[in-house]
């Protein structure tokens, strides 16, 4: 009796196949096998990175507020305008101040006139006092010689006292007039300062980031009307848990990821705020950033601070398939590709940390072909090093 042996399997690589594709003919049937590259998932030791989130802030900013209560006549800038140091930003109504200035100037003129009158009165009172004093001296000598009566002498003494009082009164009025003049001059100086406050100017070259008032509204002392930020030298102000204080050192370089720009830049820790927020048990770290096109105050950012070492499973970014929020990899089981969902952590260069879905020793496909499907047969072409 003849025995039939199985036909040998013939592997044919033809030019008509797609790249990395093998046709396998067996027992008269033909099946396509994809040639793939794989890497073995292995335990790795990585530095633990603590992510601290925060917002981009300008290093120098100013809230423009009025120092006097007055209606706003003009606001000469809009949000987004760039201004120069000393440029007029807001003009307030100054009519009340100008009226006060005119009143103070009139009071000063009145005081000047009163001073002139008092000086004339003082001179007249001084002349009368000198004459009365000389006359009284003569009456005193005559009384000694019994040439005048006691009553005449007493009348002379009374006239001397009256002349002395008149001189003192004239001097007092002069002092009062000079005091009124000093008061008027002080009021004029004060109104002059207040008139200067009626025009609000930019303290430095900056960008107008916020406008909080419109012409016609009342400006009250201390209430911000505009917000200015000096461009260049931005900072990330990040909040860090107090337990991570040992990770932060002034002057060290840290990687900062800016979500709005979709890029990571190198920053430098410039300041660590010493006080800790009792409510959040965290402190603030200020990180200097390079001047970047499109970088704006208020953008969200994350700073990474290196901590201790820990074990992790890392896979090549090219092995990860991303469809929306779903991430998966192809695992090679025997000669079959199996699609498996994974949970990924942070990225490290061109590799991603696997939090769940894989175990050490498993083989995954690197750069899977777009048409590769779950359950497809594969042939390992070359192991990734």
- One domain, residues 298 and 239: yes
Q: Is 1 inside any structural domain?
A: no
Tokens of 314: 């890392």
- One domain, residues 165 and 249: no
If pLDDT is split at 50, 70 and 90, which confidence band does 18 have? very low
Please identify, among 310, 336, 370, the residue that sits at the C-terminal boundary of a domain.
310
Say what percent of the chain tops pLDDT 70: 91
Please identify, among 310, 329, 364, the residue that sits at the C-terminal boundary of a domain.
310
- One domain, residues 89 and 205: yes
pLDDT digits (tens, 9 = 90+) for 26-79: 444 445 788 888 998 988 877 777 888 999 988 888 999 999 999 999 999 999
Q: Is 165 inside any structural domain?
A: yes
Rg of the chain, C-alpha, whole Å: 47
- One domain, residues 82 and 206: yes
Boundaries of domain holding 214: 61-93+199-229
How high is the pLDDT of residue 268?
Answer: 93
- Spatial distance between the Cα atoms of 352 and 340, rounded to a whole number of angstroms: 16
The answer to whether residues 13 and 23 touch, using CB atoms and an 8 Å cutoff, is: yes
In the chain, how many domains are there? 4
- One domain, residues 284 and 297: yes
Residue 324 pLDDT exceeds 50: yes
How high is the pLDDT of residue 106?
Answer: 93
Q: Is 375 inside any structural domain?
A: yes
**What's the longest Cα–Cα distance across the chain?**
190
If pLDDT is split at 50, 70 and 90, which confidence band does 9 have? very low
pLDDT digits (tens, 9 = 90+) for 125-146: 899 989 988 988 888 888 787 7
Q: Is 18 inside any structural domain?
A: no
Mean pLDDT on 356-384: 85
- One domain, residues 211 and 302: no
* Among 96-100, 372-376, 379-383, the least confident range: 379-383
pLDDT digits (tens, 9 = 90+) for 180-222: 999 999 999 999 999 999 999 999 999 998 999 999 999 999 9
pLDDT digits (tens, 9 = 90+) for 86-124: 999 999 999 999 999 999 999 999 999 999 888 988 999
Say what percent of the chain tops pLDDT 90: 42
- One domain, residues 79 and 223: yes
Please identify, among 282, 310, 338, the residue that sits at the C-terminal boundary of a domain.
310
- Spatial distance between the Cα atoms of 105 and 90, rounded to a whole number of angstroms: 27
- One domain, residues 81 and 210: yes
CATH of the domain at 177: 1.10.287.470
Tokens of 119: 């000086």
- One domain, residues 207 and 264: no
Mean pLDDT on 268-274: 90
CB atoms within 10 A of CB 190: 14
Q: Is 21 inside any structural domain?
A: no
Residue 171 pLDDT exceeds 50: yes
If pLDDT is split at 50, 70 and 90, which confidence band does 311 have? confident
Q: Is 172 inside any structural domain?
A: yes
Q: Is 31 inside any structural domain?
A: no
- One domain, residues 335 and 376: yes
The answer to whether residues 126 and 168 touch, using CB atoms and an 8 Å cutoff, is: no
End-to-end CA distance of the chain: 53
Residue 19 pLDDT exceeds 60: no
- Spatial distance between the Cα atoms of 169 and 181, rounded to a whole number of angstroms: 18
Q: Is 136 inside any structural domain?
A: yes
The answer to whether residues 58 and 326 touch, using CB atoms and an 8 Å cutoff, is: no
- Spatial distance between the Cα atoms of 319 and 353, rounded to a whole number of angstroms: 12
- One domain, residues 205 and 89: yes
- pTM > 0.95: yes or no: no
How high is the pLDDT of residue 31?
Answer: 56
Q: What are phi and psi of 209, to 5 degrees?
A: -100, -15
How high is the pLDDT of residue 382?
Answer: 55
- One domain, residues 156 and 78: no
* Among 75-79, 86-90, 227-231, 285-289, the least confident range: 227-231
CATH of the domain at 82: 2.40.50.100
CATH of the domain at 285: 2.40.30.170
CATH of the domain at 358: 2.40.420.20
Residues across the chain: 385
């Amino acid at each position: 009796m003849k025995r039939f042996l199985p036909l040998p399997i013939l592997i044919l690589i033809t030019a008509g196949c797609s790249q990395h594709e093998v046709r396998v003919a067996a027992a008269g049937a033909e099946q396509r096998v994809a040639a793939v590259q794989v890497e073995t998932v292995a335990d790795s030791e990585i530095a633990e990175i603590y992510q601290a989130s925060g917002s981009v802030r300008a290093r120098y900013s100013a809230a423009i507020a009025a120092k006097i209560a007055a209606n706003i006549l003009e606001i000469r800038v809009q949000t987004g305008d760039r201004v120069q140091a000393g440029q007029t930003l807001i003009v307030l109504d100054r009519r009340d101040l100008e009226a006060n200035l005119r009143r103070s100037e009139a009071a000063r003129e009145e005081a000047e006139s009163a001073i002139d009158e008092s000086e004339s009165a003082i001179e007249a009172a001084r002349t009368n006092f000198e004459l009365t004093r000389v006359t009284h001296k003569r009456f005193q000598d005559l009384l000694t010689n019994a040439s005048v009566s006691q009553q005449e002498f007493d009348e002379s003494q009374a006239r001397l006292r009256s002349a002395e009082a008149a001189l003192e009164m004239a001097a007092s009025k002069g002092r009062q007039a000079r005091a009124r003049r000093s008061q008027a001059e002080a009021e004029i100086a004060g109104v002059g300062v207040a008139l200067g406050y009626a025009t609000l100017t930019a303290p430095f070259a900056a960008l107008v980031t916020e406008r909080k008032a419109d012409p016609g509204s009342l400006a009250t002392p201390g209430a911000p009307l505009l917000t200015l930020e000096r461009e260049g030298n931005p900072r990330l102000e990040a909040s860090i848990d107090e337990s991570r204080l040992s990770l932060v050192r002034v002057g060290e370089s840290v990687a900062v990821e800016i979500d709005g720009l979709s890029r990571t830049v190198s920053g430098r820790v410039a300041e660590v705020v010493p006080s800790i927020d009792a409510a959040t048990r965290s402190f603030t770290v200020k990180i200097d950033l390079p001047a970047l096109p499109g970088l704006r105050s208020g953008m969200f950012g994350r700073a990474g601070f290196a901590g201790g070492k820990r074990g992790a499973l890392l896979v090549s970014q090219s092995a990860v398939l991303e469809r929306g929020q779903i991430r998966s990899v192809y695992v090679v089981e025997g000669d079959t590709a199996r699609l498996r969902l994974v949970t990924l952590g942070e990225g490290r260069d061109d590799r991603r940390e696997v939090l769940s879905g894989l175990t050490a020793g498993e083989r995954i496909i690197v750069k899977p072909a777009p048409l590769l499907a779950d359950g497809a047969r594969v042939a390992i072409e070359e192991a990734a090093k």
